[in-house]
Amino acid sequence: MSFKHYAMQEAKQQFVEYDKNSDGRVSWDEYNIQMYDRVIDFDENTALDDAEEESFRQLHLKDKKRFEKANQDSDPGLNLEEFIAFEHPEEVDYMTEFVIEEALEEHDKNGDGFVSLEEFLGDYRRDPAANEDPEWILVEKDRFLNDYDRDADGRLGPQELLSWVVPNNQGVAQEEALHLIDELDLNTDRKLSEAEILENQDLFLTSEATDYGRQLHDEYFYHDEL
């Protein structure tokens, strides 16, 4: 809830900045002006000769497809809810399938609907003269095997792929919760009582992941409880 709250607040602040004419919608032109100070229009079917410009064209077209997918009501531009879906697709269910398709288009080179370890590593080719892979490759391989490939079949399926390209905050939240229990659970029953929280309230209120203390003063987030 904490992370989702921050994502929503960030998107709302951005929405005001992007909505240049204050009509309650962000158009594609307004998005371009805010991002690049000008309206950019690439031909979807014509690749550019310059590798750097072509890379930018691909990223821009990807943004445009996501922008169009986020627009559910087909009215020009995005309203606030649609803009949140564009900026934070991980928080919106109707964007999930599109994000998976987008990732497969980029990484699934053989078109089998999965991402293998080789496709996950991209253009990396091991130096024949090297005795072992560089450290960053070892880290990436470990992430693939232990974090993403949950069924251990050597490839990432749609849901596994989603956890890679659109990571959620569940792992961080769980780690923070375990940390707080380890620090505050005085009777070691793996639960936090009111007395235990009050005993070390500074630690609980200043938790970096939850930032609970500041949220207590946020009327939007905790208005019901307050």
Taking only the tens place, the pLDDT of each residue in 125-148 is 777 777 788 888 999 999 999 989
Q: What is the pLDDT of residue 153?
A: 95
User: Does the pLDDT value for residue 178 go beyond 50?
Assistant: yes
| Higher pLDDT pick, 80 / 89 | 80
Q: What is the pLDDT of residue 167?
A: 64
| Higher pLDDT pick, 168 / 86 | 86
169 CB-side CA count, 13 A = 15
Q: Which residues of 16-36 are buried (b: 16+ CB within 10 A; e: fewer)?
A: eebbeeeeebbbbebbbeeee
CA-nearest of 33, 40, 159, 24 to 103 is 159
CA-nearest of 84, 93, 68, 100 to 5 is 84
User: Does the pLDDT value for residue 224 go beyond 50?
Assistant: no
Least confident of 31-40, 55-64, 176-185, 210-219: 210-219
Q: What is the pLDDT of residue 164?
A: 85
User: Does the pLDDT value for residue 207 go beyond 70?
Assistant: no
- Per domain, the residue ranges of the chain are 3-91, 110-165, 169-216
Give the model's confidence band at 225: pLDDT under 50 very low, under 70 low, under 90 confident, else very high. Answer: very low
Q: Which CATH number fits domain 3-91: 1.10.540, 3.40.50, 1.10.238, 2.40.100?
A: 1.10.238
Tokens matching residue 74: 């087909």
Mean pLDDT for 164-193 is 80
Least confident of 27-31, 53-57, 77-81, 206-210: 206-210
Task: Find the radius of gyration of the CA atoms of the chain.
Answer: 22
Q: How far apart are CA 84 and CA 92, in angstroms?
A: 8
Query: Please, what is the average pLDDT of the chain?
Result: 84
Q: What is the pLDDT of residue 23?
A: 95
Give the model's confidence band at 50: pLDDT under 50 very low, under 70 low, under 90 confident, else very high. Answer: very high
User: Does the pLDDT value for residue 15 go beyond 80?
Assistant: yes
Taking only the tens place, the pLDDT of each residue in 92-101 is 889 988 889 9
Q: How far apart are CA 78 and CA 57, in angstroms?
A: 22
